[in-house]
Structure 1
Amino acid sequence: MKSQKFSASISLMDTRRLDLNLLVTLEALLIEQNVTRAAARLHLSQPAVSAQLGRLRDIFDDPLLIPAHRGMTPTVKALELLVPLRQALDQVRATVTTHLNFEPATASLTVSIACTDYVQAALIKHLVVAMRAGC
């Protein structure tokens, strides 16, 4: 039922304005309930996350998070979006990562390492031994 609400609110808005990164930001904001902590989680600046929150507010036509004494409080609409949002993002993540089954032991690839002469003399031999041993 809740995923239908999320789908309905997405389908009613102009999806051209929607960016997957905005949904990732919304998820972080709803989890952290704090712009600074959400920014740290996303490895973004606080002003960048604040700007994205502004775009999300326009898209969903809701404040989503309201400033509170410590952090922010999610609105009713934001709370309704959390579960279907996480399900949708989990599905996207699973779809994107299914082909990324990297097996180092059987991989056939070339690795280039740039380093100083000192690092090469001191560490590379040990690195190669460790890689051959399977770490």
Structure 2
Amino acid sequence: MVDTSRIDLNLLATLEVLLAERNVTKAAAKLHLSQPAVSAQLARLRDLFDDPLLLPAQRGMTPTAKATELAPQLREALDRVRSTLQSHR
């Protein structure tokens, strides 16, 4: 069983942007955060998922197999959260 008390929804939103941008600096700009803040969040995500998630590449970063597998489920879950919040405004 996963310890859900360690999960911060902001971390999952950061992961979604990191997977889309494949670059910490670009993700930070899109999230209106500093690059060190996004790097720290990526470190927490790596710990949470026990996987590096994104590996340095010649240009940007390359997602691991686990990150690639998580991406559609993550997008769907966050879309549901956004939809729920939007419908109850």
**Do they superpose with TM above 0.5?**
yes
Helix, strand or coil for the counterpart of 2:62?
A: strand
Which structure 2 residue ranges, 5 or more long, are not aligned?
A: none
Give every structure 1 segment of 4 or more consecutive aligned residues whose post-TM-superposition deviation is greater than 2 Å. Answer: none
Aligned to 1:72: 61
Equivalent pairs counted in the alignment come to 89
Task: Give the Cα–Cα distance (whole angstroms) in 2 for the partners of residues 87 and 40 of structure 1.
Answer: 23
Offset at 1:14? 1.4
RMSD of aligned alpha carbons: 0.7
Offset at 1:28? 0.3
Scaled by the length of structure 2, the TM-score of the pair is 0.97
Aligned to 1:86: 75
Helix, strand or coil for the counterpart of 2:58?
A: coil
Task: Give the Cα–Cα distance (whole angstroms) in 2 for the partners of residues 95 and 71 of structure 1.
Answer: 33
Aligned to 1:47: 36
Scaled by the length of structure 1, the TM-score of the pair is 0.64
Which structure 1 residue ranges, 5 or more long, are not aligned?
A: 1-11, 101-135
Task: Give the Cα–Cα distance (whole angstroms) in 1 for the partners of residues 2 and 44 of structure 2.
Answer: 13
Aligned residues: percent identity? Answer: 71
